[in-house]
Each structure stands twice: as C-alpha cells, then as structure tokens.
Structure 1
Amino acid sequence: MRLTRSLIPTLKETPAEAQIASHRLMLRAGLVRQTAAGIYAWLPAGLRVLRNIGQVVREEQDAIGCQEVLMPTLQPADLWRQSGRYDAYGPEMLRVKDRHERDLLYGPTNEEMITDLLRQSVKSYRELPQMLYHIQWKFRDEVRPRFGVMRGREFLMKDAYSFDLDYAGAVLSYRRMMLAYMRTFQRLGVKAIPMVADTGPIGGDLSHEFIILAPTGESGVFFDAGFEEIDWLAADFDASKPEDLERFFTQMTSLYAATDEKHDAAAWAKVPADRRREGRGIEVGHIFYFGRKYSEPMGLTVAGPDGAQIIPEMGSYGIGVSRLVGAVIEASHDEAGIIWPDSIAPFRAAILNLKQGDATTGAICETLYAKLGANALYDDRDERAGVKFNDADLMGHPWQIVVGPRGAANGKVELKRRAGGERVELSVEDALARVLGA
C-alpha cells in the first residue's frame, strides 16, 4: 500500500482522552477512531491487525478440531429467559424491541444461543463430543468505558463452547483448549500466564484466566519462570491423545501462578528464589467449565447407549481479539511508538524513500514494493526524512527499509529492525530475503 493513497491518519500530539499507552498509540498511529463512548471504528491498518490476530486464533482452534460457526449479534430474549439470565444479567445487557414488540438483546456472550443450536441439531450420544467457536462482535454497556479498546462497550471476541457426555470428557475438552491457548499466545508473540480463576457456585478448579505481562497491567501477578521457558509450539503434546493432555495439564499446574488477589505466600515461598517472577498483567482470555448450568434448564439432552436421556456437560472459552490489540501494544512499545510482533503487524515492512522524485531511489523503492506487495507500506510522501522515520517508528512496522540517494547509488539500502533498533546496510536482494524470511 502506498502511504499517499492510504487512510492512515497519524497524529503528532497525544489526544487528551487517551489515558494509557495503547489508547494513545492506537489513536496516534491511525488504527482506530472513536465514534461513541466505548465504541471504535477500525481504520485500514487497525483492521489488518485485528484480522491477523483473528487468523492465528482461528488456526489454533481448527487445529484441535473446534468447528467455526457464526452466530448473530442479536439474540431472542426468550433464550435467556429459559436459562434464567435475562433478568439477572444486569444493565450491561443492551435490550431492544423489534417492530413487533418482540424482546431482543445485543449479545454479550453466546452460551444460550449455542445451547439452543445444539438442542436443535444433536440427538444421540454418538454425535458428542462437539466443540464450536466463532469470532463475533459483542456488546456490554459498561458504566464507565475507558482505556480505548481495553475496556470498550463493543468488542470482538472469540468464544468457543464444548459439549461432552460426562465430566471426564469435559475435562479433556478443557485441557485441549488450554493447550490451544498457550500455542495461540506464543504465536501472537506475547507471554501469557494461565492463572487459576474463581469458578463461583460450580466449584472445582476448572477455570483459568490468561494474563499477558505488561507494566501497565491492572493485576499484579506472581509466577514460576517455567512458564516463560516452555516452547509450546515445539512441545510434543498431541491434543488428540488423553495421555498427552494429562501430561500437559500436570506440567501446567505444577508451576506456581497467581494474581495478587489469589496469591499464596506459603506456596510462593516454595518456589526457588531464582525462578520467582513478579509483574503486572492484562487479562486477554478466560476458559471455564460450568457443567449443566445451561444444558439442563434449556432442555438439551441426547439419547444414551441404553436410550436414557443424557444432559451434556459444557464449557466456554473466550479470547478478547480486539482487547488483544491493546494488550499487545501495552506489552510491546517504547517512547517512539508501537513495536509489533511479526505475526500480527499490519505491514511487515515500511519502505522509506528519503528523496522523493529521485530516479535512482524511486526505482529501488518500486522494486522493493513490487516484491513485497501487501507485506509493505511504501512511504512515498513528499516529506522530510525525520517525519518518515518518526511515523515508521510510531506505526511499529517490524522492518524499515530506508532508501537514500547515497546508498542507492551503490545499489544498497539500510534495513532497520524496529525491535532492538539494529541497522545494517544490504543489497536490495539481501534486504528482501531478510524481511521475507524472518
């Protein structure tokens, strides 16, 4: 994409309403614009990041056999009355009526709707287990929306749901999803620590929050360094094998991790001193087993082997896709701007032409642009070099290919790595190989 033809409205000054780094940088880098309190329009570069995150999430869900569906944003109130949540949910739910005076709601979550879909579609124990997910917009009418997309009213979420015949099957689904989450966050280039979360009246220990480490996080966290050392993508855990899932979960739960609200000083003291890590973090995911909380009141049953009706056991699994954009920036930025992980950056590289109108620099830039295609943002503006450098750092492209007249005369360009700031002079071919092969 050529910057002269792009809608990427960068800002030099920090907007007054931006209270945290991610909100400030998302506005300044031209990723989003607020349209109402807690509601944002995603501009082209921001939408590219959102889609890149969604694609990584989607691929890891598919890898464990979770099937993608797409449920509507508007839901019939009657489904929520069947579960007992319609009146209990509170003012965060946006309730509306259609022209026929039927009660509807803008979905804050989808337990009722997915249970109804299974109720209509699944009749026999042979059709279970099932795992289904979608990536869809949600709405919760926060009383005080703040911090940009970190705590907005409208947000993009991956929510998945599992249906199993018994508790043992539900545990396997839970562990399978937990493994998928660890792989997802590693692919997104962030460190995520699973923390045991409250399960409420259901009890047990099958609820975990996933916390991304960030200095500006809202929660204090304590964890064993082992979480940072494990390569979840290379680990030999096969999500289709119960014994591997057992081994994975045992390894996970053997490492101490807790938020400040659930911190156990005595257990923390048993962690070797050189392995203790403390910091702050942002919740970006939550997985939860809730048994028959929805399947029973909504009448979801399947015929068992003997013909008797079985009420399936359920779990739900959420990842805040739009929240992750803000969380990644909180965890990965400096004073100059965003530092995108390669996997989710809107553009892999920025091409900076330092002498617009010069035939030699222009020819090299056009060659780079043709080879990189959609991977590159070509800054072809008639602007000073300093403006181009500042905007490239602000927008956080993993690579900057700097084409100046002195180097261009010798067929050379300067390649800068945004993370770390290393610079090296290379031939055009070598620079392309570095950018495309990293």
Structure 2
Amino acid sequence: MRFSRAFLPVLKESPSDAQIVSHKLMLRAGLVRQTAAGIYAWLPLGFRVLKKIEQIVREEQDRAGAQEMLMPTLQSAELWRESGRYDAYGPEMLRIRDRHDREMLYGPTNEEMLTAIFRDEAKSYRDLPRTLYHIQWKFRDEVRPRFGVMRGREFLMKDAYSFDLDEASARLSYYTQLLAYLRTFQRMGIRAVPMKAASGPIGGDLSHEFIVLAPTGESEVFYDAAFEEMDWNRSDLRYDDPVGLHNLFDDVTSTYAATDETHEEDRWADISEERRRTGRGIEVGHIFYFGDKYSGPMGLRVTGPDGQMVAPMMGSYGIGVSRLVAAVIEASHDDAGIIWPESVAPWKVGLVTMRQDDEATVAAADELYSRLKGAGIEVLYDDRDERGGVKLGTMDLIGLPWQLVVGPRGIASGVVELKNRASGEKEELSMESALARLTA
C-alpha cells in the first residue's frame, strides 16, 4: 500500500477525551473513529489489525475441533424468556420492538439462540460432543462507555458453545478451550494469565478469565511467576490428548493467579516472595462451564446410550476480538507510539523515502517496494511529499515491526537503514541484505 493513496488519517495530538494509552493511540494512529457514545468505525489500518486477530482466533478454534457458523445480531425475546434471563439480564440489554410489535433484542451473547438451534437438530448421544462458534458483533448498553474500544457498547466477540453428554466430557471440552485460549494469546505475542473468575450473568460454577498484563488495566492482579515460564505450544499438550488436557487444567488451577475480586491472602502468603508478581490487567477472554443451566429450562434433550432422555451439559467461551486490539497496544507501546507484534501488525514493513525529490532515492525505494510485494511481504510505502522526520514519526506512531529507510546519503554508499521497532536497533545494510533479512 502506498501511503499517498491510503486512507490513514493520523493526528498530531491526542484528543482530550481519550484517557488511556490504547484509546489515545488508536485515535492518533487512525485505527478508529467514534460515531456515537461507545460505538466506533474501524478505519483501514485498524480493520487490518482486527482481521489479523480474528484469523488467529479462528485458526486456533478450528484446530481445537470447534466448527464455525454465523448467528444474527438480533434475537427474539422469547428465547431469553425460555431461559429466564430476559428480565434478569439488566439494562445493559438493548431491547427493541419491530414493526409488528414483537419484542427483540440486540444480542449481548448467544447461549439461548444456539441452544434453540441445537435443540431442533440434535436427537441422540451420537450427536455429541459438539462445539460451535461464531465471530459476530455484540451490543451491551454500558451505562458509561469509556476507554475507547476497551469498554465500548458495540464490540466484536468470538463466542463458542459446547454440548456434551455428561460432566466429565463437558469438562474435557472446557479444558480444550482453555488450551486454545492460551495458544491464541501466545500467538499474538501477549501474555494472558488464566485466573479463576466469577461467572456473573452467564452462570455456572467453573469459570476462568484471561488477563493481559498492562499498567493501565482495570483489575489488580496477583500471580505466581511460574506463568511467565509456561509454553503452551509444548509437544505434550495436544487437543486430542485427554491426559495432557487434564494435566494442563491441574497446572493452571494449582498455580496461583487471581484478580482483586478472587484474591486469597492465605494462598498468596504461601508463595515465596521472589515468585510473587503483582500488577494490573485487562480481561480479554472468559470461559464458563454451566452444566444444564440452558439446556434444562429450554427443553434440549437427546437420547442417551441407555435410551433415557438426557439434557446435554454445556459451556460457553468468549474472546473480545475488538478489545484485544486495545489490549495489545496497552501491553506493547512506548512514548513514540504503538509497537505491534509481527503476528497482528497491519503491515510487516514500513518503507520510507527520506527525500521524495531525489530520483535515485525514489528509484531505490520503488524497487524495494516492488520486490517486497513480490515476495509476499505486507509493506506500507510512505511515498508522500513530506519531510523525512515527519515520515519517521508517523512510522513510529503506527508501530510496524520493521522500518526500511531509504535516503540519498545511504544510496550513494550503497546501503539502506533497517530499524527494528520493538528494540530500536538500527542497521545499515545493502539492499540485497535488507531484502534477505525481511523475506527470510
């Protein structure tokens, strides 16, 4: 993409109403623009990051055996009355009447809808287990939306729902999703610590939330340093290995991690002082096992192996896809701007010409742009007629992992400058060496 043709409206100053780093940088770097209180339009740069995160979530769900579908944003109030949640959910639910005076709602979650869909199709224990998911926009009418997409009213969420014959198999589905979540966040280059959590309006007695560590997080967190050493991609953890999944759950639950809501001073005191970690964090995912909380009252039954009718045991599993964009920024930035992990960056390379009026510089940059694109590398080419310092400042702000800088003095010496955005390290390399490094 050539910057001169991109819709990338960067701002020099942070808007006065932005309170946290991610909100400021998402506005300054041109990721989003607010259209109403707590509702945002995703501009091209932000949308690219959103789709990268969505794809990582999708790939790990598919590897874990979940099947993707798509459910509508609007739901019938009758479904929620069947489960008993319509009146219990509270004012965060946006209630609507259509032209025929039918009560509808803009879905904040989808337990009822998918239970009804599955109820109409599943007849036997042979139809179990199943885990179904979708990635869809949700709406919760926050009383005070704030912090940009971190606490917005409209948000993109991955929500999955598992159906199992009994508690033992339902717990295995839960452990499978636990691993999928840990691997999802690790692939994004962020550390998300699983912490025992309250179930809230979803219900159930087994629940974990996943907290990304960030100084501006809303929750105070306490955890054992052992979480910093755990590799969720190690070979003994497989989605098809029940023993390994049970061991994973045991490892997670036996290693201390809690928010201020669930913190236990007695257990905390048993951890050696050098292993204690405290800080703040942002919730980016939440998983629940709740048995027959929905299948029971909504009449979902299948024939068991013994011919008796059984209510399947269920779980639900949410990831805040749009919130993750902000969470990554909160965890990975500096005074100059965003520092994207390569796996979610909108482009891998930012190519900069320091002098747009110098023919040799422009020719070299054009050649680099063509060859990088030809090698399948995502590159943003800043070919604007702007001062070099302005271009470099913009590249630092939008945070692409690599900056490739082409200037008259370097071209005269046969070199270009390659900068790693995360470390700040700069190298002067030949064009061929720089291309080899970026395409390796």
- By the TM > 0.5 criterion, same fold? yes
Match in the other structure for 2:59: 59
Match in the other structure for 1:283: 283
5+ residue gaps, structure 2, are none
User: Does structure 1 residue 380 correspond to structure 2 residue 383?
Assistant: yes
Q: Structure 1 residues 5 and 422, CA, compared in 2 at 3 Å: closer, same or farther?
A: same
Counterparts in 2 of 1:309-348, with a 5 A limit? 309-348=309-348
Secondary structure of the 1:409 match is helix
Deviation at 1:107, TM superposition (A): 0.6
- Contact 2:89–2:201 (CA under 8 A) maintained in structure 1: no
Q: Could you state the TM-score of these two structures normalised by the residue count of structure 1? A: 0.97
Deviation at 1:273, TM superposition (A): 2.3
Secondary structure of the 2:413 match is coil
Match in the other structure for 2:435: 432
Match in the other structure for 1:293: 293
Deviation at 1:335, TM superposition (A): 0.8
Give distance in 2, aligned partners of 1:180 and 1:371: 36
CA displacement 1:349-396 (0-9 Å, x = unmatched): 100000113222112211221222361100001111110111000000
Deviates more, 1:320-329 or 1:246-255: 246-255
Give distance in 2, aligned partners of 1:63 and 1:174: 15
Deviates more, 1:353-362 or 1:24-33: 353-362
Give distance in 1, aligned partners of 2:79 and 2:260: 37
CA displacement 1:238-277 (0-9 Å, x = unmatched): 1111111111111112211111222222211222222211
CA displacement 1:95-127 (0-9 Å, x = unmatched): 112222221111100000110110111111001
Match in the other structure for 1:173: 173
Match in the other structure for 1:391: 394
Match in the other structure for 1:308: 308
Give distance in 1, aligned partners of 2:52 and 2:150: 18
User: Does structure 1 residue 138 correspond to structure 2 residue 141?
Assistant: no
Match in the other structure for 1:234: 234
Deviates more, 1:263-272 or 1:323-332: 263-272
Q: Structure 1 residues 235 and 229, CA, compared in 2 at 3 Å: closer, same or farther?
A: farther
Q: Could you state the TM-score of these two structures normalised by the residue count of structure 2? A: 0.97
Deviation at 1:411, TM superposition (A): 2.9
Match in the other structure for 2:184: 184
Give distance in 1, aligned partners of 2:86 and 2:200: 19
User: Does structure 1 residue 161 correspond to structure 2 residue 161?
Assistant: yes
Q: Give the letter aligned to residue 160 of structure 1.
A: A
- Contact 2:203–2:293 (CA under 8 A) maintained in structure 1: no
- Contact 1:403–1:414 (CA under 8 A) maintained in structure 2: yes
Q: Please identify runs of 4+ aligned residues in structure 1 that moved more than 4 A.
A: 200-205
User: Does structure 1 residue 408 correspond to structure 2 residue 411?
Assistant: yes
Counterparts in 2 of 1:201-280, with a 5 A limit? 206-280=206-280
Give distance in 1, aligned partners of 2:161 and 2:353: 49
- Contact 1:196–1:205 (CA under 8 A) maintained in structure 2: no
CA displacement 1:312-345 (0-9 Å, x = unmatched): 0000000000001111111111111001111001
Counterparts in 2 of 1:351-390, with a 5 A limit? 351-373=351-373, 375-390=378-393
Deviation at 1:92, TM superposition (A): 1.0
Deviates more, 1:263-272 or 1:132-141: 263-272
Deviates more, 1:404-413 or 1:55-64: 404-413
5+ residue gaps, structure 1, are none
Deviation at 1:45, TM superposition (A): 0.4
Deviates more, 1:254-263 or 1:26-35: 254-263
Q: Give the letter aligned to residue 350 of structure 1.
A: G
Match in the other structure for 2:49: 49
Give distance in 2, aligned partners of 1:382 and 1:337: 22
What number of residue pairs does the alignment pair up? 437
Give distance in 1, aligned partners of 2:234 and 2:245: 15
Task: Name the Cα RMSD after superposition.
Answer: 1.4
Identity percentage of aligned residues = 67
Deviation at 1:166, TM superposition (A): 0.3
